[in-house]
Amino acid sequence: MPPIQELVGARVRELRKARGWTLEELAEKADKHYTYIGGLERGDRNVTVEVLHAVASALQVPIKSLFDLQAHPLEVKLNAASEDILSAIQKGFRAIIDTKGKLAEYFLNRELEELQKKGVIHDLVWYDKDGAPDFTFKFHGKPLRLECKNVRSPDEKRKNDSFRAELQKSRNSKDGTPTRAYRADHFELLSVCLFNRTGAWTYLHISTHNLLRRAKSPDLLEIMQTIPQVEPYGHWRKSLVDALLDHEDQSQTP
């Protein structure tokens, strides 16, 4: 391993180049001589915390970013520091919603991976494409599809602001027909993340057998599904395994 000062210097150079700055430009913004900054980047100088703070402030990143010595693949792909990526997301309402949706899938995938390690489920796949479920896997040898949704954020305009999940696809079909509705046979399990209401990445799970359907089109699921407020009731389960067992039992019932 190179000495720590070389690794920090390389990180400073990486952040500087991502901004398209010359060595002299960074030095001017940090109020330091360019030869000093050059020595920092080469790892020739054992710099003080004061200098690191000045450089981090010039780069507009927290000082801890200078010690993120292994760049995340997304930082490399976007040629931007993690702090810049997060700041860009923060500026976009839609970007935040999309990020929360993907985080809900990300943390659920961790749970599913643990179940796979224990041998409870098999052949786990996490999809990211239109027309595909969020996850597929096998439980007791049978293939299942799982959709992950976020509970809706609080709505101050609603008198009875219950926890609800919206079951609609993000896009209509390519031919323009209104096909955002989910059919009852589109997936077998639904996991709803409670973050928007509780601030925690926890979930409630249910078999599609037990979701509400449209009165005039019973082959379609209701757009709005009422969710228990943290503690499960009815057919909602805190444990995904319990929801899987529910689905298995009801699938076997004539």
Architecture of the domain defined by 94-252: 3-Layer(aba) Sandwich (3.40)
Domain ranges of the chain: 4-90, 94-252
**Which residues, listed in sequence order, are joined to residue 226 by a DSSP beta bridge?**
164
Per-residue pLDDT of 10-46, as tens digits, reads 989 988 888 889 999 999 999 999 999 999 999 988 8
- Closest to 30 measured CA to CA, from 65, 64, 61, 59: 59
- Residue 200's CB: how many other CB atoms inside 10 A? 11
How far apart CA 46 and CA 9 sit, in angstroms, is 10
Percentage, residues of the chain above pLDDT 90: 55
In the prediction, which pLDDT does 1 show?
A: 60
Q: What is the pLDDT of residue 79?
A: 86
| CATH dotted code for 4-90 | 1.10.260.40
pTM of the model: 0.76
State the pLDDT at residue 175.
Answer: 53
Asked if residues 165 and 225 have their Cβ atoms less than 8 Å apart, the reply is: yes
pLDDT of residue 234: 87
DSSP state of 152: P
Residues 6 or more apart from 203 whose CB is under 8 A from it? Answer: 108, 111, 191, 192, 193, 194, 238, 240
- Local structure of residue 216 (DSSP, 8 states): S
- Reading the block at residue 205, the tokens are 């799970």
**From CA 203, how far away is CA 227, in angstroms rounded?**
10
Q: Residue 221 has which token pair?
A: 């699921």
Task: Name every residue whose Cβ is closer than 8 Å to that of residue 168 and which is 6 or more positions away in sequence.
Answer: 180, 181, 182, 223
Contacts of 178 (CB under 8 A, 6+ apart): 172
Positions of the chain with pLDDT under 50: 176-178
The pLDDT value recorded for residue 91 is 93
Look at residue 225 in the predicted model and tell me its pLDDT.
92
Residue 190 φ then ψ, to 5°? -125, 130
